[in-house]
Amino acid sequence: MPLKSSPSMGGLKYKRVLLKLSGEALMGKTGYGIDMPTVMGLANAIKEAMASGLELGLVIGGGNIFRGLQGAAKGMDRASGDYMGMLATVMNALAFQNALEQIGVKSRVLSAIPMPTVCEAYVRSKALHHLEERRVVIFAAGTGNPFFTTDTTAALRAAEMSCEVILKATQVDGVYTADPNKDPKATRYDRVSYAEVLAKDLKVMDGAAIALARDNSIPVIVFSIDDPANLGRVLRGAATCTTVTV
């Protein structure tokens, strides 16, 4: 359940959240890779939220660089493709950490695949300590296992970190009955249940992620990150969005 906001939290509805960004959110209009002005815009939105007392965990996908499923579709072994995708998430995490540090936001990258010369290995107690010290914790390399998406990583880390909510940032302002870019009659849900998401295959997150969020009673808020300021609006309960809950 959301905490009652205190004056030190600047009106925020939640104290500790897990933000899930797609890799595509980092590439801006470039079509591939990492667009640093776009990353800096997202980093500044996070800085503003942190100044209001937020504790933030962050999971970033790797689709702007490589997707295991796409590699498998082209004849690559799926597990090998997924490992390559995990490395792409580390690259994105390091780029985002660099952006945060440039604007004075303390952060740590914790990787599920140990690579000590690059970043810290993921250890739950260490991650919790960083959150308590008001550092942004960027979880990289997925779960460390193939066949699991970064959506599932987000749900898993949210449960491990005792996050109150998962914020799923997308290119649309919520969950729709159909793809709003293809069906002009598609309507947006204000609230939808985990069961309905799974039964109707609404493509919020993959089924494992939704089931994990459901089993740990963690609501999922889906919102548009096209305007980075939407992050603050979501945290204050003032954004157009969809909440996935019981």
Mean pLDDT, the chain, rounded, equals 93
Q: How many CB atoms lie within 10 A of CB 241?
A: 23
pTM recorded for the entire structure: 0.92
What pLDDT does residue 7 have? 40
Lowest mean pLDDT among 9-23, 59-73, 149-163, 179-193: 59-73
In whole angstroms, how far apart are CA 122 and each of 109, 141, 212?
Answer: 8, 10, 20
Q: For 25, how many CA atoms within 13 A lie in the half-sphere containing its CB?
A: 28
Structure tokens at 147: 């066949």
CA distance 179 to 187: 9
Please state which CATH class domain 7-245 belongs to.
Answer: alpha beta
Q: How many CB atoms lie within 10 A of CB 162?
A: 12
What pLDDT does residue 4 have? 42
What tens digit of pLDDT does each residue of 7-26 get?
Answer: 445 689 999 999 999 999 99
Lowest mean pLDDT among 5-19, 144-158, 223-237: 5-19
Lowest mean pLDDT among 63-67, 191-195, 209-213, 237-241: 63-67
Asked whether the predicted pLDDT for residue 121 surpasses 80, the reply is yes
Asked whether the predicted pLDDT for residue 50 surpasses 70, the reply is yes
For 170, the 3-state DSSP assignment is strand
- Average pLDDT rounded to a whole number, residues 188-207: 95
CA distance 144 to 19: 19
- Average pLDDT rounded to a whole number, residues 217-226: 97
Asked whether the predicted pLDDT for residue 157 surpasses 80, the reply is yes
Q: Is the dihedral of CA 76, 64, 19, 100 positive or negative?
A: positive
The residues spanned by each domain of the chain are 7-245
- pLDDT category at 76 given cuts 50, 70, 90 is confident
What pLDDT does residue 34 have? 96
CA distance 115 to 2: 35
Lowest mean pLDDT among 26-30, 72-76, 163-167, 173-177: 72-76
What pLDDT does residue 10 have? 65
